[in-house]
Amino acid sequence: MPSTLTERLLQALRQRGATEIFGIPGDFALPLFREFERSAVLPLYTFSHEPGVGFAADASARVRGGLGVAAVTYGAGALNMINAVAGAYAERVPVVVISGAPATHEAASGFLLHHQVKTLDSQWKIYQEITADRVRLDDPSAAPELIARVLDTALRASRPVYIEIPRDMPSRTCDEVPTLPLPKPDQEALDTCAAELLARLKDAQHPVLMVGVEVRRYALESRVAELARRLGIPVVTSFMGRGLLAESAADLRGTYLGLAGDPSITALVESSDALLLLGVIVSDTNFAVSAQRIDLRHAIQALEGRVVMGHHVYPDLPLTALIDAMLERTPIDAHVVATPRADTLPAGAWVADDSPVAPIDIAAAVNALIRQHGSMPLASDVGDCLFTAMDIGPAEMIAPGYYATMGYGVPAGLGLQAATGQRPIILVGDGAFQMTGWELGNASHYGWDPIVLVFNNAAWEMLHVFEPSARFNTLPAWDFASMAAGMGGDGVVVRTRAELKSALKHAHATRGRFQLLDIRLAPGVLSPTLERFVHAVRRLSTGTPEE
């Protein structure tokens, strides 16, 4: 039986590393979802609300360093997912958005169609702003080339792309999607750049390597770790790059957080005379609270296929090619013994007594669990849970550290477990849980069983710290523990350190149902990192001198 357009698309996605589809159908997407189910080329996981679909697809792409797939209906579905796709665009995540659409003859009917906004092209135009490429598959003979182009763009740019499929197309027969040749970088430019970069690092007194999101997006972690080991230079991650190289043999010192972080790491980075930024997004969340403004003109930046060194630029040099060229020029016999992570809490520094739980206790308890049972991947939402995560590790972590959208944590944790089979620990505030925590109701349907730590401080605390006199950041204390059973999981209220330790032990030992710890935090009790961050922002905004 000849293959359909949908089968060809799914085969091409699988060949390029996609492992599943997350989605919610609609009438403009029913033929598409029917083909998903009939062809069974990739597993289909349905969620309850399109933001969750987008966040889960984002998480799958991040954690595997490949394509994530989000399938939705036209209008109400696709437009409901805009925020998640915008976050993927901002954070360089290759999410493939597949949207159903009116059939060609319907579009020509002259009627206003249900789900239509302004014109039938409104959705296409809206997605233009948050994707690197877009195709409409309304001609099966042109579809193979278009599919190859748009998927290869997603991988090369590490950005979301948009595929619109009119509902009379999914089951049309279609030829195989070709494998297009990848553009090759200019070899002479690559050789010159690699040689100059290595010479700068060699001549420097205090070279430092900072790794950021592109190292993960292009699946370069092991190669970058090997390069760092051979070069024998200290490595830090950016805020967004937290979790990178966590298990490697590189000399990983921790995460650079400027004034909000470990002073020894801040000094190491800000005093470097050759700061190499590999795949680091130069954003306020990565650099705004620098103790002293890092003069990026003296840094070496490799980002978005360009290498900027001092006042000259090497264009069109993909990070993968640059890393390989540097490895070829760096002797294998250089050796560095990995030093233990200095920036996370020693498990022994924490006593599980009847004191009320503070965020730092959550970090200590998770560190103790990781040390006893081995590392577990973290999926974090935005809020103090993300700052607390800076004291957890070494552990792989996915979080929207720059775009900073709430609602990411729970669907991302589910997407991580769908994509890797690993059981995650999800860190989420009460405010963010109110947004997308309900996706946990889908966990039992697919056998996912995350451990969910809800930082329940009855507030939008991250905002409250900046507006302490305002009342609008205070929230009612929701009883999340009592809601878990209704969603197919187990919930428990945790108030003291001792309760936290025993609840975490029980949760870790219980498989097959998600485990929710509703951790009641006193309002205003912050993680040390958020404390320092707030203090730093206040100092920098008022210009007060360092104490």
Site residues, ligand S1T (CB under 6 A):
382-385, 404-407, 429-432, 455, 457, 459-463
CB of 529 to ligand S1T, least distance (A): 12
Helices (H), 465-514: 480-484, 497-509
- Please choose which of Mg ion, ligand S1T, none residue 463 contacts, taking the beta carbon within 5 to 8 angstroms, the exact cut-off set by kind: ligand S1T
Backbone torsions φ then ψ of 164, nearest 5 degrees: -105, 130
CA-nearest of 155, 4, 122, 66 to 99 is 122
Residue among 84 and 281 whose Cβ is closer to ligand S1T: 84
* Beta strand extents in 346-411 (DSSP E only): 378-380, 397-398
Q: Are 287 and 301 in contact (CB under 8 A)?
A: no
Residue among 227 and 399 whose Cβ is closer to ligand S1T: 399
Asked if 430 interacts with Mg ion (CB under 5 A), we say yes
Q: Are 19 and 44 in contact (CB under 8 A)?
A: no
CB of 384 to ligand S1T, least distance (A): 3
Of positions 457, 515, 527, 529, contacts Mg ion by CB under 5 A: 457
The letter for the amino acid at 210 is M
Residue among 367 and 456 whose Cβ is closer to Mg ion: 456
CB of 426 to ligand S1T, least distance (A): 12
Q: Are 383 and 461 in contact (CB under 8 A)?
A: yes
- Please choose which of Mg ion, ligand S1T, none residue 31 contacts, taking the beta carbon within 5 to 8 angstroms, the exact cut-off set by kind: none
- 408 CA to centre of own chain: 9
283, 285, 289, 294 alpha-carbon torsion, rounded to 10°:
-30
Could you give the CA distance from residue 236 to residue 230 in angstroms, rounded to a whole number? 16
Residue among 385 and 483 whose Cβ is closer to ligand S1T: 385
Asked if 527 interacts with Mg ion (CB under 5 A), we say no
CA-nearest of 41, 59, 56, 44 to 5 is 41
Distances from the Cα of 196 to the Cα of 201, 233, 307, angstroms: 9, 17, 11
Asked if 380 interacts with Mg ion (CB under 5 A), we say no
CB of 19 to ligand S1T, least distance (A): 27
CA atoms within 13 A on the CB side of 420: 24
Residue among 76 and 477 whose Cβ is closer to ligand S1T: 477
Residue among 346 and 523 whose Cβ is closer to ligand S1T: 523
Residue among 429 and 489 whose Cβ is closer to Mg ion: 429
CB of 385 to ligand S1T, least distance (A): 6
Residue among 95 and 428 whose Cβ is closer to ligand S1T: 428
CB of 183 to ligand S1T, least distance (A): 37
CB of 384 to Mg ion, least distance (A): 7
- Cβ burial, residue 540 (10 Å; 0-12/13-18/19+): middle
CA-nearest of 490, 535, 538 to 517 is 490
- Please choose which of ligand S1T, Mg ion, none residue 393 contacts, taking the beta carbon within 5 to 8 angstroms, the exact cut-off set by kind: none
Of positions 170, 305, 424, 429, contacts Mg ion by CB under 5 A: 429
Query: For the chain, what's the residue count?
Result: 547
Could you give the CA distance from residue 318 to residue 165 in angstroms, rounded to a whole number? 31
CB of 462 to ligand S1T, least distance (A): 3
CB of 409 to ligand S1T, least distance (A): 9
- Please choose which of ligand S1T, Mg ion, none residue 412 contacts, taking the beta carbon within 5 to 8 angstroms, the exact cut-off set by kind: none
Asked if 461 interacts with Mg ion (CB under 5 A), we say yes
> Parallel, antiparallel, or unpaired for β 397-398 and 21-23?
unpaired
- Please choose which of ligand S1T, Mg ion, none residue 262 contacts, taking the beta carbon within 5 to 8 angstroms, the exact cut-off set by kind: none
Residue among 401 and 429 whose Cβ is closer to Mg ion: 429
What single DSSP character describes residue 441?
A: G
Give the footprint of Mg ion on this chain (CB under 5 A).
429-431, 457, 459, 461
